[in-house]
Amino acid sequence: MVKIGVLLGFERTVLVNRIALAALAIVALLGACTARGGTVEPTALRLGYFPNVTHATAIVGLQQGLFAKALGPGMVLEPKVFNAGGEAVEAIFSGALDASYMGPNPTINAFTKSDGEAIRIVAGATSGGAALVVRDGIDAPADLAGARLASPALGNTQDVALRAWLADQGFAVDAQGAGDVSVLPQANGDTLTAFVTGQIDGAWVPEPWATRLQAEGGGHVLVDERDLWPDGKFVTTQLVVSRKLLEEHPEIVRQLLVGHVAANDFIADHPAESQEIVAEAIADMTGAEIPAGAIARAWPTLTFTNDPIASSLVASARDALAFGFLDAADLDGIYDLTLLNAVLADAGQDPIAQP
């Protein structure tokens, strides 16, 4: 009886081992089905964007399901909302974000701080849509002496643009915001409140905040940033992806770009509907209703384009370097428009020259 028990135990052991080996074989087979070159295919794409009109491409693409359609049913799209580019950059650095719409200066920071390893610009999104709005009584640059002006975040796109413009007007401004004019980086919603209550004299902000400062705070535009650039064109928002995603999973980036181009096409073909979509989405994200007509008034100041307008990025990098926000401004390799141009070709649209 003892011998029979031993035999039965041995047979159970063999059976368990066979089951374990079969399970391992199944896991290996599944791994092979979800891998390319030994790299596991992601099942989710984490996409960042901001509650600004300058991010209309992202908002329309999400709300109309254009990104989801392009990515297909096997990929879960995870949108993530940020207030400023620095937050999105940190999320990319930490591996918590795969791609994001963001302005030029956070993009430059991400590229230079990572020695060119972290990100690539794969498409443009928006040109224009930023302005310096000030209170009554400020009608010329000289009137800003001693003024308190806000920007969305320290070292962000509008922050650098404000400081560079003030320097061009002869004002002394340092990276800490002190000098002839005080620069106070803060969230756009806080800026609106501060302007309405008279705590600040103005702000250099993206839309819809520039329009809201006028409509709700009685301000007026002292500087439309379009007036500072050749042909009024400068990058406000672009699509950035992690280098890891681009190199290991180019097909996912291509699909994202299909949705991106489709969103810009939708905006061009349906401007009124796009304005409604953007207004509703921003209200949902910020918890505050957008005043009637604010988006419509802001819309003509923006151009939604797949062109990243590289020349303006270079100029922004020089300004950021001058204020100590960058240690270097070597942008060689920051662009990769190969997949964008393939998508544009498929859509029958003209390619964009690789910078």
User: Domains along the chain?
Assistant: 45-129+242-346 (3.40.190.10), 130-231 (3.40.190.10)
| Confidence band of 39 (pLDDT split at 50, 70, 90) | low
Query: What value does the mean pLDDT take over residues 182-204?
Result: 96
Looking at residue 324, what is its pLDDT?
Answer: 86
Portion of the chain with pLDDT greater than 90, in percent: 74
Reported pTM? 0.83
Q: Is the pLDDT of residue 13 over 90?
A: no
Write out pLDDT tens, residues 229-257: 999 999 999 999 999 999 999 999 999 99
Alpha-carbon distances, residue 261 vs 43, 46, 124, 292, 345 (angstroms): 22, 18, 10, 28, 11
Place of tokens 């949902």: 284
Q: Is the pLDDT of residue 10 over 90?
A: no
What does pLDDT average to over the chain? 87
More confident: 7 or 114: 114
Portion of the chain with pLDDT greater than 70, in percent: 88
Amino acid identity, position 334: I
Q: Is the pLDDT of residue 298 over 80?
A: yes
Looking at residue 303, what is its pLDDT?
Answer: 97
355 cis-preceded (ω within 30 degrees of 0): no
Q: Is the pLDDT of residue 22 over 80?
A: no
Burial of 197 (0-12, 13-18, 19+ CB in 10 A): exposed
Q: Is the pLDDT of residue 56 over 70?
A: yes
Query: What value does the mean pLDDT take over residues 33-61?
Result: 81
